[in-house]
A and B are shown apart, each in its own frame.
Chain A
Amino acid sequence: MTTAELPVLAEVEWPRGTEPPAVPGFVVSSFSPLVAELARRCLTERHGGAPAPAEVGARTGVLLVTASGDAQSAAHVAYAVDTGARVGPLLFFQSVPNSVAGHVATRWGLGGPVLCVSPVGPDGEARATGLARARLLIDDGDADEVLVVCVEQAVEQAAEQAAEQAAGQQTGDGPTGSAFLVSRGESR
């Protein structure tokens, strides 16, 4: 797969150890709020504010790269199922990472492909995977720009976190993440 550099139009890093602001409709986990906040910061750098200009937004894709996925939500659901606790309906809507990608696409008026993938390759590096997949979408013609959001949650103690959350305790280290926006630029 070609990994030659694409023009990077905007780029943001999440300060480690901090929690993102909550997003209405998303509960239990920092995963989706962090995706939304990284996307907001990155796209604000590019467009100044939402939505993106229509002609650009229509051909901008959203690509989420994560090895852990939403580990906190997964652990919360597993704990509820295993203990016979109620599973809240909002958890259904955040049961896949696509949902927050759709939230971002809706807020910013993005009509390109929506994709969620895991990092692959020799070093499993999220940025390299994101660049390669974004390049494929652009070279193949389904997008002119791709917002790549890379997010990881600590999963080592996810089950324990779920139990602690059920007991009303604060849990876990903050998530990590970054986002960047790549463009077809003059490369074609």
Chain B
Amino acid sequence: MRDPAERAGITGMAAVSVLGRGAQAQLAGGLGGAAGFAPVRRFDVDRRRVRVAATLPDAGSLGDELAGVVREACEQAGLTPARRAATPLLLAVHGHPAAGRMSEKDSSVPTAAGFAAELATSTGLGGVAGVYTCACVSGSSAVADAAALMRLGQADRVVVAAGYLVEPDQFALFDAGRALATDGAARPFSAGRGGLLLGDAVSAVVLEAGARDPRAEVVGWGRAGDGYHTVRPDPGGAGLARAITAALRRAGVLPAEVGYVNANASGAEGDAAEAAALHRALGAAAATVPVSSTKSVHGHGLEGSGLLELIVTALAIQAGKLPVNAGYLGGDPACALDVIVGAPREAASPYALSLNAAFGGANTALLVRAAA
């Protein structure tokens, strides 16, 4: 077991979303509070009920965008080619981008692990240590595992990458499931919210155990399941609350010390379950901790969401400024939280939670601390 002081330090981070290219663009977009939803031009949406998403107009392929953020994060962390070659990749994706469209003519099976191996090779990393295909907790689960490996002394440095670019198949599925908002905006925790909207989310971080000068640290993490329903969250928030409690316990941080929550809330009915989880886990502090969901500006990046949101959260708590919850029309009694609306807030604590939840009742909580 490693010395608790040697936490998983974030020494490099890079991201791409509708908010722009580069990690700082994500923070600027979150603080600006202008939602990036617009009509989809990337593929045909004529047959869809909803036709908007948060897409970056000049986005390349998922493989190219992932390679770009991995290289940028590694450069930021100052990793030499030799160090890169000794650093494994943990990747969070839905699957191989070609999955579902191969034919008898194709010579190899397009798997997520194969896609990860190609990414590791093209970016000079030392192989693949994990591939996460667990929907909207994929990126955050990868970070939790990375932090766990470091705590247990089984890894010194890893690169975690996660990516989703809005594409026709998932768009069609979310549209068919009537999960998308019909009024052009995602409104987390708000009265009158009508669903989520999809968005591009491609990002990478370098995590190093006991880094001397990290940009932020992952000091706590937790994962727990609802055991309640195939796809709907437990309205009582029990699973997510256990994930939050586990993250705080690992860090030795009290609920009242948490200065910001970047919530999983997407603008769907299930946002109320997250509010219940926060009250369950944080007690009285749940009513006063500033909360926002940056999905309100960059959309829901599915497998890419957890890592992008961790980056926004880490940069925000480091800058001491907390992102706005866009699209908010007014309070919902079922979501009795201190939601950040209108303008960014000043951070009162160096600790922030980034929460994620997914189909299957999967929940994760990541606790980050701003670098001293």
Chain A residues engaging chain B, CB cutoff 8 angstroms: 1-2, 25, 57, 61-62, 66-69, 71, 74-75, 77-82, 84, 86-89, 91-93, 95-103, 105-106, 108-120, 124, 133, 136-137, 139-142, 155-160
Contacts and interface: CB of A to CB of B under 8 A. Distances in A.
B61 interface: no
16 contacts: A68-B109, A69-B112, A74-B169, A77-B173, A78-B101, A93-B359, A95-B173, A98-B359, A98-B360, A108-B227, A111-B238, A114-B137, A114-B358, A115-B223, A118-B116, A142-B224
Given A2-B154, A142-B222, A95 B113 contact: no
B173 A92 contact: yes
A49 to B, nearest CB: 16
Given A111-B226, A159-B103, A89 B176 contact: yes
B113 A99 contact: no
A120 B133 CA distance: 13
Q: Which of B94, B134, B222 counts the most A-chain CB atoms under 10 A from its CB?
A: B134
A117 B132 contact: yes
Given A2-B152, A75-B101, A139-B152, 20 more contacts: A67-B113, A69-B95, A74-B100, A95-B359, A98-B134, A100-B360, A102-B361, A106-B229, A106-B361, A108-B227, A111-B226, A111-B242, A113-B223, A113-B225, A114-B137, A114-B225, A117-B133, A118-B113, A119-B113, A133-B145
B172 interface: yes
Contacts of B113: 67, 118-120, 124
Interface in B205-252: 222-231, 238-239, 242, 246
Interface of B: 47, 94-95, 99-104, 106, 109-113, 116, 128-135, 137, 141, 145, 148-149, 151-152, 154-155, 168-170, 172-179, 222-231, 238-239, 242, 246, 358-362
A134 to B, nearest CB: 12
A118 B133 contact: yes
Nearest to A85: B47
Contacts of B223: 113-115, 137, 142
A99 B358 CA distance: 9
B190 to A, nearest CB: 23
Contacts of B229: 102, 106
Contact of B101 (A62, A98, A118, A159): A159
A157 B104 contact: yes
Contact of B104 (A74, A92, A109, A160): A160
A110 B242 CA distance: 13
Given A1-B149, A100-B230, A116 B133 contact: yes
Nearest to A58: B227
A158 B135 CA distance: 21
Given A68-B109, A102-B362, A115 B173 contact: no
A77 B134 CA distance: 19
Contacts of B227: 57, 105-106, 108-111
A61 B152 contact: no
Contacts of B224: 111-113, 142
